[in-house]
Amino acid sequence: MVEQLTVTERDLRRMLDVIDRGRQAGPDEVFPRELMRALAELIPADDVTFQVSRPLDREFVAYEEVTLQDVYPGEGWEDLFWRSYWGEDVCSRPQRTGDYESVWKISDYLSTSQLARSPIGEWFRVIGVRSEIAVPFPASGAEDRRLLLFRGTGRDFTERERLLLRMLRPHFIEAHRDLERRRAGIPDLTSRQLQLLRLVAEGHSNTQIARRLFVAEGTVRKHLENIYERLGVSSRTAAVATAFPLSA
C-alpha cells in the first residue's frame, strides 16, 4: 500500500519561515546559516551542511555548517571521506546517474547491515552519523553542490520529510543564487523581475514571456526597462550576463 503523504498548514508556515530566513545571509556565508537553522527546526537534524566540492579532483571548495556538536574526524579524514564517496553509488549518485534533482537518503541504497560493512558506514562511525538525506543542487561544471542533513541518533528521515525537502529545493537554489549575486555586487531584483529574466535567458521572446506570465506584452517591455535601469545595462544579453554571472 502506498504511503499517503500530507503537508499541514503548520508545515507550510514553517516552510515559509525557512524561505524568509534565507534572505538574512551575511556576505561571508557560503549558504544562508539562518535558513539552515530554520530547516533543522522543520526537519530535526543534528547537523545541516552545505557542501561544495570537486569530486573528480577529490577536493573541497567550500562549506557552511550548522551543527549541535563539533566532531573532529582526525588525521587522514579526507582520504576516508573520498573513499566513502566513490566506494558506494549512494554518495556519488549525481555523478553516476546524472540526476541532480532527486532528494535521496542513504537508506535508499543500503540497509542498516549493509551500511555497517560499507566505506560510507566507516565514515559515518568516525563522524557519529546514523542517517543522512541529501538535496542536490544543479550541476555547475566540475563542482558538486549539495545540502546535507544528518542524524546521529533516532529514526531515519521519513518520506514526508523528503517531500518537504523536495518542495523547498527550488527555494534553496534561489537562496544560494541570491547570495552569489549579492557577493558579486549585483543589484537586487524582485522575484518577478528574476522570473522574467530567466525566461529571457532561456531564449523566449517578449510575446512568449507575456503568454507564460499572463500579462500584456507592454508589461514585459516595462519590466525589462526597469531591469535595465537597475542593472545599469541597455540590452537583454547584458542584463542576463549581469544578473546571472555564474550560471547554475
What is the sign of the dihedral through the CA atoms of 63, 144, 48 and 176?
A: positive
Using the predicted structure, report yes or no on whether residue 211 has a pLDDT greater than 90: yes
pTM for this one?
0.78
Dihedral pair phi/psi, residue 74, rounded to 5°: 90, 180
**Nearest residue to 40 via CA among 119, 127, 128, 151:** 151
Looking at the chain, the whole-number percentage of residues with pLDDT higher than 90 is 67
Q: Does 1.10.10.10 match the CATH number of domain 191-243?
A: yes
102-114 pLDDT per residue, tens: 999 999 999 999 9
Using the predicted structure, report yes or no on whether residue 99 has a pLDDT greater than 80: yes
Q: State the amino acid at position 222 in one-letter form.
A: K
29-72 pLDDT per residue, tens: 999 999 999 999 999 999 999 999 999 999 999 999 998 777 77
DSSP the chain: --------HHHHHHHHHHHHHGGG--TT-SS-HHHHHHHHHHTT-SEEEEEEEEGGGTEEEEEEEEESS-----TTHHHHHHHHHHHSTTTTHHHHH---S--EEGGGT--HHHHHTSHHHHHHHHHT-SEEEEEEPPPBTTBEEEEEEEESSSPPPPHHHHHHHHHHHHHHHHHHHHHHHHHTTPPP--HHHHHHHHHHHTT--HHHHHHHHTS-HHHHHHHHHHHHHHHT-SSHHHHHHHH-SS--
According to CATH, the topology of domain 9-184 is: Beta-Lactamase (3.30.450)
Distance CA(216)–CA(27), nearest Å, equals 37
CATH 3.30.450.80 in the chain, residue ranges: 9-184
Residue 67 β-bridge partners: 47
Confidence of residue 26 (pLDDT cuts 50, 70, 90): confident
Average pLDDT, the chain: 90
Distance CA(65)–CA(36), nearest Å, equals 8
CATH 1.10.10.10 in the chain, residue ranges: 191-243
150-205 pLDDT per residue, tens: 999 999 999 999 999 999 999 999 899 888 877 877 777 887 888 899 899 999 99
Residue 124 is placed in which grid cell? 559515518
pLDDT for 170 equals 93
Looking at the chain, the whole-number percentage of residues with pLDDT higher than 70 is 98
Using the predicted structure, report yes or no on whether residue 2 has a pLDDT greater than 70: no
